[in-house]
Structure 1
Amino acid sequence: MPSYEDDLSRFEEHDTQVLGISVDSIPSHEAWQKSIGGISYPLCSDFYPHGEVSKAFGVLRENPNEPAYGASERALFIIDKEGIVRFIDVHPIAEQPDNEELFDILRKLNS
């Protein structure tokens, strides 16, 4: 997520709001932000009711027999101003698509 901070001005050029969401608590978000030197985009705590946003987007790990039960998948969504999901990428927790891929998609959506 720090890479989004690094490219925040480029996201803004595409009239895009970056928003981070996780099932972690607000104190956990605050500690994480502090540990990386801060971020300037908003974070949403999907802590209580636990995972409701993640569940609504189909990315909450709900199988108690699976690793990371109760966490959300690492996922990216691009949602337009009408609330329509235009892009979804769910990927392994240790991976993150290159921001250039996101900028390519944003260019296509805005053309």
Structure 2
Amino acid sequence: MPSYEDDLSRFEEHNTQVLGISVDSVPSHEAWEKSVGGITYPLLSDFYPHGAVSEMYGVLRAEGMSERALFIIDKDGIIRFIDVHPIGEQPENEELFEVLRSLHSFA
């Protein structure tokens, strides 16, 4: 998710808050953040109750891990974009910016 960090100012131009969330513990998040040289957006832990948020969004796997997924949620709490993809892949940020631009055209 360092690519989000690289484009954080572009996300902010769209009045967007980037969040990272996983079923990992806070110490695990801190270790990962350190390993990638730092992250300035919030990392949230869905550790306890384990996977509750992931389950609510339909991305908790039976083995207790969450899928690699992206959600764009508008200010009214409506999910406008979902992308579930293999762990080693993610959509290009430009695809996300296209979705964000399309949301602004409805505002």
TM-score tier after normalising by the smaller chain length: over 0.9
Indicate the residue corresponding to 2:31 in structure 1: 31
Amino acid of the structure 2 residue aligned with 1:31: A
Task: Quote the RMSD (CA, aligned, Å).
Answer: 0.4
Which of 79, 86, 103 is matched with 2:73 structurally? 79
Alignment of structure 1 residues 1-111 onto 2, 5 Å: 1-62=1-62, 69-111=63-105
- 1:8-50 Cα offsets, whole Å, 9 max, x none, are 0000000000000000000000000001110000011000000
- How many residue pairs are counted as aligned between the two chains? 105
Distance 2:85 2:36 in 1: 22
Partner of 1:21, secondary structure, is strand
Distance 1:96 1:88 in 2: 12
TM-score, reference length from structure 1: 0.93
Q: Which consecutive residues of structure 2, in runs of 5 or more, have no partner in the other structure?
A: none
TM-score (structure 2 length as normaliser): 0.97
Instruction: Determine what percentage of the aligned residue pairs are the same residue.
Output: 80
